[in-house]
Structure 1
Amino acid sequence: MTISWYPGHMFKANKELAKLMQQIDVVIEVLDARMPGASSNPLMHKMRLRHHKPCLHILNKADLADPARTRAWLQYFNSQPGSRALANGKDSNLNTELIIGACQRLVDEQALMPKPKVSASAEPEDLPTEDTADDSLALADTELDETENDDDNDDNTGAEERYRKRKFNAVIAGIPNVGKSTLMNQIVGRKLAKTGNEPAVTKSQQRVKLNDQWYLFDTPGVLWPRLEDQQAAYRLAAAGAIRNTAIVFEDVAMVAAEFLMRDFPDSLKARYKFNELPGSAEEFMEQLASKRACRNKAGRTDWHRVSEILLHDFREGSLGRLTLELPPGA
């Protein structure tokens, strides 16, 4: 089965995000620490690079990921130009000061770089254009306070002083069900965004004040039109980033069993009390069904039920701290 999920609200959200890129200073991308590569949105990065915006990568759910691999990913992102990274989880909660500090460093570094002009011809063909952005966009330029980015209201103030006093805007973005809304509530210090353990909870953009200088835009969780890397798509589905009604549980669980047997056999043995794992994913699922009494009335294997068990355990961290990907060059 080819996995694809790109409903209408994601198409609209991507158009709005494309227009918003003109107004913000830095992108905060929330990633799943168990799969930072698969959970990174290539369409969003085309947008931000076209507008020369730096990116703060948040490796979320780090308490579910392998600590050594998380450190490797942090080192990788921190070595890239215009990029910084932080980890967030139950054992390493981020706060407003840490987020703002990292964003400010990125903006300060960006301010020292030359400002190349944005060429219309450089726009990727699959990027929603600003001309086609929805006219009802809630975050149009006119809705931002005109005084917030006015660097010229005092002719006697030096450029450095004007820069220090100006207002900055960040946008927080991520794929569905990556914990973006929970993180936003966490760093703001109060409940602003609706949260839930399912994709597509946030439906529209909102803007909140972090301090006297920084404002944060929240955006809905979005994917991209073509999930060309189907192995990555199956990892996303296993993590819950794709709505359950858009996947075949049995197929996703079978692929998950394959990579878990290959890369994390000890985790499966410990969780499900296997002395040795069988030779194939199908045999593993069959034996797991027997262990968990997943049988229908006819006594046959209930494949959907046993698939739900495996995917639930992976999503909730019951299999241990697992990271499915290594950074490039590792």
Structure 2
Amino acid sequence: MSIQWFPGHMNAARKKAAETMEATDLVIEVLDARIPQASCNPMVEELRLFRQRPCLKILNKSDLADPAATQAWLAFYNSQKNVHAVALSCKKPSDVLKIPALCLQQAPHRGVPTKPLRMMIMGIPNVGKSTLMNALLKRRVAKVGDEPAVTKVQQRLYLNKNMILTDTPGMLWPKIAHPTDGLMLAASHAIGVNALMEDEVAIFLAEILLQRYPQLLAQRYGLQIEGTDAVGVVEGVAQRRGFRLKGGDWDFEKAAHILLQDYRTGALGRISLETPDSRTALLDSYVPPVLLGLSKQIMESIDVDEAPE
């Protein structure tokens, strides 16, 4: 199954982000620590590299991710030029307090009243940008919800007299090239429910869990894992929870929903759906399309002579 989701407001948000990047010193990109690269919007990367802006990559929801996988991702990102990566939970005030100092380290030429540090928070839907914004400002300035694409317009706010934040809507990209990326995004609740079938996403999730975290499935649902396939996992959840339809058949759809919810909330345990090694294997087997990311019209509309102050 190939999942695609690019509502109209995201196209408008993409164009606005290209304009705002010109007056931005630092990009704060919020990623899902369970799927860091699958949740990394290639349009954000193209925009910031085009403008030569440094990036602070925040691997949010790290409390839900596999610690070993997260450490591997931090090493991967921190080896890149003009990138600093940190793993945290935006729901923990002590974690969020570290961010302003990290931002100033990335842009030492800014951060005084005459030249405030201008930061743009970017990321895919439902990854925690609004939660981060509210925590940084210590007040509710952005709407937070458990559904993708809650924020639909940019907001520009002062963190203090030396730092300015621009919050942007969650953006996906017009064409998700790797089908597994779409499935990982859907499993992690970054895709609108109308663009997916939960039972198919749950089967995909169950396949990964069988390969990497079979013990967590056994502990959570009391399943006999040996000899079980992905469909059998979802059916097993239905049986163990007593989910039946009126005719007596097992309620596969309800069981699929529960499996996804248990993964999303961390009830299953700390799980990462990808690692740098699995990403490399995916890319090695992939033939890229001719064009990816920003449209030619948008790239041509950006003044290439603009450089960071």
The TM-score, its normalising length taken from structure 1, stands at: 0.80
Distance 1:192 1:61 in 2: 21
* Counterpart code for 2:95: L
* Counterpart code for 2:145: G
Aligned position for 1:26: 26
- Give 1:163 deviation, angstroms: 7.4
* Counterpart code for 1:169: R
Give yes or no for contact 1:208–1:217 (8 Å, CA) kept in 2.
Answer: yes
* Counterpart code for 2:215: D
Aligned position for 2:297: none
- Give 1:91 deviation, angstroms: 6.0
What secondary structure sits across from 1:298 in the alignment? coil
Aligned position for 1:203: 152
- Give 1:42 deviation, angstroms: 0.5
- Flag the 1:277–1:244 CA change in 2: closer, same or farther, 3 A: farther
Distance 2:226 2:255 in 1: 16
Distance 1:13 1:65 in 2: 29
Aligned position for 2:38: 38
Question: Deviation string for 1:109-148 (max 9, x for gaps)?
Answer: xx6xxxxxxxxxxxxxxxxxxxxxxxxxxxxxxxxxxxxx
Distance 1:230 1:2 in 2: 5
Runs of 5+ consecutive residues of structure 1 not aligned to the other structure: 112-148, 150-161
Aligned pair 1:182/2:183, yes or no? no
Aligned position for 1:243: 192
Distance 2:112 2:233 in 1: 60
- Flag the 1:255–1:323 CA change in 2: closer, same or farther, 3 A: same
Give yes or no for contact 2:113–2:161 (8 Å, CA) kept in 1.
Answer: no
* Counterpart code for 1:249: E
The TM-score, its normalising length taken from structure 2, stands at: 0.85
Aligned position for 1:4: 4
- Give 1:276 deviation, angstroms: 3.1
- Give 1:278 deviation, angstroms: 3.7
- Which of 277-286 and 21-30 deviates more? 277-286
Aligned pair 1:309/2:252, yes or no? no
Distance 1:306 1:181 in 2: 30
* Counterpart code for 1:14: R
Distance 1:67 1:92 in 2: 20
Distance 2:92 2:117 in 1: 29
Distance 1:277 1:307 in 2: 20
Distance 2:164 2:203 in 1: 44
What secondary structure sits across from 2:160 in the alignment? coil
Aligned position for 2:300: none
Question: Deviation string for 1:16-39 (max 9, x for gaps)?
Answer: 001111010010000001111111
Of residues 207, 212, 226, the one that matches 1:263 is 212
Distance 1:278 1:184 in 2: 46
Distance 1:266 1:30 in 2: 30
Aligned pair 1:191/2:124, yes or no? no
Distance 2:183 2:217 in 1: 19
What secondary structure sits across from 2:202 in the alignment? helix
Give yes or no for contact 1:265–1:277 (8 Å, CA) kept in 2.
Answer: no
Aligned position for 1:320: 269
Distance 2:135 2:158 in 1: 14
Bigger Cα Rg: 1
**Alpha carbon RMSD of aligned pairs, Å?**
2.0
- Flag the 1:83–1:93 CA change in 2: closer, same or farther, 3 A: same
Give yes or no for contact 2:223–2:236 (8 Å, CA) kept in 1.
Answer: no
Identity of aligned residues (%): 45
Q: State the number of aligned residues.
A: 278
Distance 2:199 2:113 in 1: 55
